[in-house]
Structure 1
Amino acid sequence: MKRIVAITTALLLAGSTYAFAQDAVIVEVPQPARDYVIAHPSDPVVIDGDVAVGTVVPQEVQLVPIPDSPDYAYVYVDKQPIIVSRKDRKVVYLSQ
């Protein structure tokens, strides 16, 4: 019985790790886009909850386009620039 529980637990953990790995997509935002966002701060917005790579920015938050990078837009949250994908509004870059 203990062996069945241990195997089931291992399979569940392996499955959840695999699902997480599938959802995590690493996007390399071009350096000129990051430089533009830092050089052109926007009015700060408040987003409830933690903001991390993969977080979807709510529709009511107005995104600022990045002129030479049409796939990306940005907002400032807590004085930090957040770059998002314009196609799905997911955070792809957080300033360090």
Structure 2
Amino acid sequence: MTVPSPRISERLSADFGPSAPSMLTTLERLEISQQVDPERIHAAILLASRGSQTLFEDALEHAQEDWRDLLDRTGLAAEDWRDVVDEGFGDNPPA
């Protein structure tokens, strides 16, 4: 179980409003490869969903089947992915 970062949670709330809590639970339950940062996958899912619950579900499925392709589709495949996420989701607060 991976808890989404605060900025992912905020974006989820902004994009999906009242549906966000159940969608957050879905993100928490998503099995993510240890090869990739969970925030990277969560951000890719939100970018691919573009505020659509149907696209969100499609992106979740894609993340489970071929997360590398999902990263490529959403512009998060390159080494500068953190910069892209910072730009789209706001700076990550220090831990």
More helix per residue: 1 or 2?
2
The question of a shared fold, defined as TM-score above 0.5 by the shorter chain, is answered with no
Give the TM-score, by structure 2 length.
0.26
